[in-house]
Chains A and B, each alone.
Chain A
Amino acid sequence: MPQFESHFFSSLIFWEILSFGILFFLLYKYAFPSLLGMLEQREKKIKDSLDQAERHRSEAERKLREYEAKLAMAAKDSEALLAQAKERAQRLMEENEQRMTVDAERIKGDATREIEQERRKAIQDIRSQTTDLALMVAEKVVGRALTEADHRRLADEALDALAKTYQSRN
């Protein structure tokens, strides 16, 4: 194989090292920094826009959560309000009923008392009238005028007897 002819080795080694060195220097100095920079810049831009998208997404999510929380709070608020109103209405109704019962009781009591009073008065009236009547009758029967005091006593005795009979009959 001609490639094993060592005659050319020295010149090949020399020129290979030299040209590789020159190429390395040129690329190291003038090509790689800029090319790698461009690559990194582009990757950074892609990463940045990805990050931004992520930020936007999380922002939107946060807002959604916030809104949902607000909505839930509003629902709870309105529920509480409704319950409160219901309770108040219930209380009012109960109060009304109670007051009305009390009123009715009072009215009933008043009426009972009044009736009782009237009855007593009526009984008193009847009593005094009956006494007068009895007196008149007695005067006529006895034919003599008794003293006023006698009259009264007699009448009262009669009336008491009358009342007793009346009461026992009732």
Chain B
Amino acid sequence: MEESPLHAFELHELIPLVPAGIDISINKAVILMWVVVGLVAFLMISAAAARKLVPGKLQNIAELIVEFIRGIILDTMGEPGMKYFPLIATLFLFILFANLIGLIPGSYTVTSQIIVTAVFAVGIYGLSIVLGFSLHGMKFLGILVPPGTPGWLLPLMIPIELISQLARPISLAVRLFANMTAGHVILGVLFGLAISGGLLIGWLPFAFTIAMNGLEVGIAFIQAYIFTVLSCVYLGDAVTLHGHSEHAH
């Protein structure tokens, strides 16, 4: 079974489910999504229910996360961005816990599925486009024209801006997927070496595996953080329409 380090990403239908011709069969990734939802909901809701003035450990973690996300939103979108706090916070928590739970041997990393990260990326980017047009109307097309562009450059700048806009959801989706996949491939290979290496030299890759696991925890955090920050930046650009000019100088 050790033919490929990628076999860890293979999915198998556990419970076939095809209502109205749409395949929504249960597989390992789906179950891990449920685990993420259950864990996050349990952590946050029980922390919220504690409501003590001197917070316990759980409440502390939950408050730290809330404060962290609020900091991201305030830095990228300012006070008006707090309207999107529930969405951004849920996104961050879902991705972070999906990344972290995937590190447990034998589980599955939901975010190493390109389709999963693509749904998040397209969803957030699509929301930013919808918000942009509903808030600014046709003026939102001005996002394709960087402020201070001379007229003769427009035929060149508009396609470039259009491409850079379209690249946003793709880079968002690909980055998270690639990082999660790569990390797990390396972990898988090292773990495989540790098992097959036996007692004599097996401990070496095993030690590496442990070190890599530490690094992977960091990457899990960073990727969730980057995804969240960029989501905020894209939403902020659409909401304010000045995000461009602010950073152009």
Contacts and interface: CB of A to CB of B under 8 A. Distances in A.
| A touches B (Cβ under 8 A) | yes
A9 interface: yes
B90 A17 contact: no
A12 B6 CA distance: 19
A53 to B, nearest CB: 20
B45 A31 contact: yes
Interface residues of B, number: 50
Contact of B6 (A2, A20, A35): A2
B49 A24 contact: no
A10 B23 contact: yes
B187 interface: no
B86 interface: yes
A26 B34 CA distance: 13
Chain A interface, >50% SS class: helix
Nearest to A36: B66
Interface string B219-248: 000000000000000000000000000000
B10 A32 contact: no
Interface string A31-46: 1111110110000000
Chain B interface, >50% SS class: helix
B77 interface: no
B9 interface: yes
Interface string B47-67: 111010001000000110011
Closest 10 CB pairs of A and B: A31-B44, A34-B48, A2-B10, A31-B48, A15-B30, A24-B90, A28-B86, A19-B33, A11-B24, A14-B24
A3 B112 CA distance: 8
